Amino acid sequence: MSDKLTVDDIVEEYNSKHDNGLPADEVRPVDPNNEQKARENAELIENLMKLRREQGTVSRETEDAPVTRPNVNDIDMGLTGKVIPKTEEIERVTDIPADLSYEEKNRMLKDRRRKKVDSFRLKDTPDEDEEQNEEKEPSGKHTGQHEFEQFEDEDEVLSDILQVKQNLTVRMVVLLFAGVFSLLITLANDLKLPMVKVFDKVMNPSTFLFTNTILGLAAIAVSYTVVLEGVKNIFRRRADCDSLAALGVLISVLSGIATLFEPSIVMRDFFHIYTSVAILGLIFNTFGKLMIVKRTERNFRFVAEDFERYALVTVDNDDTAGKFTSGVLDDFPELAAMRKTEFVRDFMKNSYSSDVSDVYARKMTPLILLAAVAVGLLSLIFEKNTAGMTEKVFNMLSVISGTVTLCSSLALMLIVNIPLGRAQNKYLQYSGVMLGYSAVDRFADTNSVLIDAEQLFPKGMVDFKSLKLLGSTKIEDCILYAASLACGAGSILSPTFYKMLRGKTEMLYPVESYIYEDGLGLSGWIENKRVLLGSRELMENHSIEGLPTKSKEAEYSKGNMVMYLSVSGVVSMLFVVQAKASLSVSRWLRELAGNGIVSVIRTVDGFINLDFLSDLFDVDRDMIKLLPFRYYKEYARETDYVPEVSSPMLCSGHFPSFAMLLIGTKRLKQITALGVAIQAGAAVLGAGIAAVMTLLGNFGQINPAFVFIYNVSFLLITLIAQMRKV
């Protein structure tokens, strides 16, 4: 090792020996022969020390000034008239002997804290949900548009939606012209109404047939995607609404084309062309799709805006859902919750999702086709008015076409989209969005919801009626301790403290850890002090002395709730809390209960219990459950923020919109089920009428006018039956 001393070594040696107060002759023995050298070294050291002091001064001056906490005394907390005067002395009580030294007291406090700290739970950041992207399977309504995967795609996705809307509008115009024109000349012939003679099927059968066939071909041409995909889906055994519409127009046009070779048969009363009613089926199919696209456009313009997004999600872990709802549900738990997010995935997929009408069409289309073919074959035997095999074959095609159009529900595309459209207009007013029928499939069976107590008490519903200082701790410090613990734990009192501190949350102390003792209140550590905030029972359980008598407490509270603050084992303050029920929250909490949905509530406030909530919101006690503290970490895992999530419904985080969406899915399921039942009944009845008339040999009485009136009648019946509010 080198014997050469550095400047730092010299300074350190000099400081150490001079700081010890040693005489000069004991610092270092001086050799008389080196006095000159010693003086030079001493002078050098003095200069180095001077330089070091100057450098130290400069560095300290250039450091950033320390951050100062705002003084709570500088803030008007609005306590005028709320502080109850101190009319008696409360003895400061502590279970630590007063004659102990400071070191012994501190050691005892640390030992007690160490015993408690293992039972405390830190407010952990939950792991992000590992959401798996579902495989995209476009339904018959999906038009191959780009999925909304990031906000940068907004213009492209909106352009796609508008393009599809424009295409459907053009299709609708063409179909309306073809359908209305064909229907007019058909009804005029069937009902013997005045008309242009050239379209009279008795006088000009060829013109009548040719016009209807051309109009039918035009309808197929402009709706080729519907017809093509509809037929493909029949062979794939995945028939949908497109399949039913395609089936009717194809058979009707084929029947018309075949009859062109023998147009005179149209003059006979037993033979009919049902092209007009088949085109009407395409019109209603296109109208339903236009409703879907317009709904998607409105939803997209709202979703793409900047607002607080909360996605509605389900608790898919059966074990977790079972623990959350234990004791209040006899059925399998279907638990829903809100989750804050920045981006909602699968927008297009959910907007164009299949619905109950597609399920109906998948089951009924093959049956309708089989029934039509069966009735057509029966007509070969039982039809009395045909002569010869040619007329029988032509009549069979007409019977098949008539049976299909009689059973093809015009209202099929409307039984979902009209109620869903009404619901959308209502939900958007409350910042709620239901993207498509997939929301009904996912949430209609919900029987429980996960709610934070903060959602039940909007801003202004909770306030301090008065405060009572009970200990020697200053009122400002008491408020800061209570506010720090309440805000750190997520109490419903957080907005009240925020208003009291004028939004200066930087004054709050960091909460090292806290626990919520179920039904009693909070216990936490702040600046190495145990702070309790809760009910009288909480204080008594922790042997906190100095509490006022119950009669005094009643005198202070005047019928309101009471909370106590304790700092380091000493009762410090009494808070008189006044809580009011929001009319909208009360209404929708009762709506949830009325629909059999239990509310599972997370709270950290000692004055909140089942009786309090039941009386305040006028809700059956059995429809509410307070979530135990041991499940709070799992609660956070299911409800905390995630960057993105897939969901068919989202809202702004307010409880009314959350409840409204969930109840809406239940009502939509009932309304659409009613519509499907009516349409199924109409189809079965239509097939029965066709079969009976064929067996009687009089199928010719089922002319296009009858089919039109029959379908429109059931359309109106369905719409009237579905007028129930969503």
Q: pLDDT tens digits, residue range 638-688?
A: 999 999 999 999 999 999 999 999 999 999 999 999 999 999 999 999 999
If 0-12 CB within 10 Å is exposed, 13-18 middle and 19+ buried, where does residue 674 land?
A: middle
Q: What is the mean pLDDT of the chain?
A: 84
| Pairwise CA distance, residues 398 & 272, whole Å | 6
Quote the CA–CA distance of 493 and 232 in Å, as a whole number: 61
Look at 299 and 132; give whichever has higher pLDDT.
Answer: 299
- Amino acid in the structure at residue 388: G
**Would you say residue 84 has pLDDT above 70?**
no
Average the pLDDT over 203-231 and give the result.
94
Q: What is the DSSP string of 235-249?
A: HTT---HHHHHHHHH
414-429 vs 275-303: helix crossing angle, rounded to 10: 20
* Nearest alpha carbon to residue 707 among 399, 374, 291: 399
Length of the chain: 726
Residue recorded with tokens 């289309």: 365
Q: Does residue 104 have a pLDDT over 80?
A: no
pLDDT band per the 50, 70, 90 thresholds, residue 383: confident
CA-closest candidate to residue 365, choices 483, 455, 240, 259: 240
Confidence class for position 150, pLDDT limits 50, 70, 90:
confident
Chain-centre distance for alpha carbon 265: 60
pLDDT given at position 16 = 52
Residue type, 570: V
Tokens of 105: 């007291």
Nearest to 79 by CA among 490, 468, 606: 468
What would the mean pLDDT of 165-170 be, rounded to a whole number? 96
pTM: 0.78
pLDDT at 73 over 90: no
pLDDT of 31 > 90? The answer is no
What confidence tens digit (pLDDT) does each residue in 592-637 have? Answer: 999 999 999 999 999 999 999 999 999 999 999 999 999 999 999 9
Find the largest Cα–Cα distance for the chain. 152
Q: Cα separations (Å) of 558 from 229, 496, 572, 574, 673?
A: 72, 20, 20, 13, 53
Higher model confidence: residue 557 or residue 9? 557
Q: What was the pLDDT predicted at 106?
A: 46
Q: What are phi and psi of 523, to 5 degrees?
A: -135, 120
Dump pLDDT digits (tens) for 497-546: 998 888 888 889 999 889 999 999 999 999 999 999 999 999 999 999 88
CA distance 696 to 545: 96
Strands 570-579, 561-567: pairing kind: antiparallel
- Tokens of residue 90, six digits: 């409360």
The residue with greater pLDDT, 299 or 114, is 299
For the ranges 75-84, 446-455, 555-564, which has the lowest average pLDDT?
A: 75-84
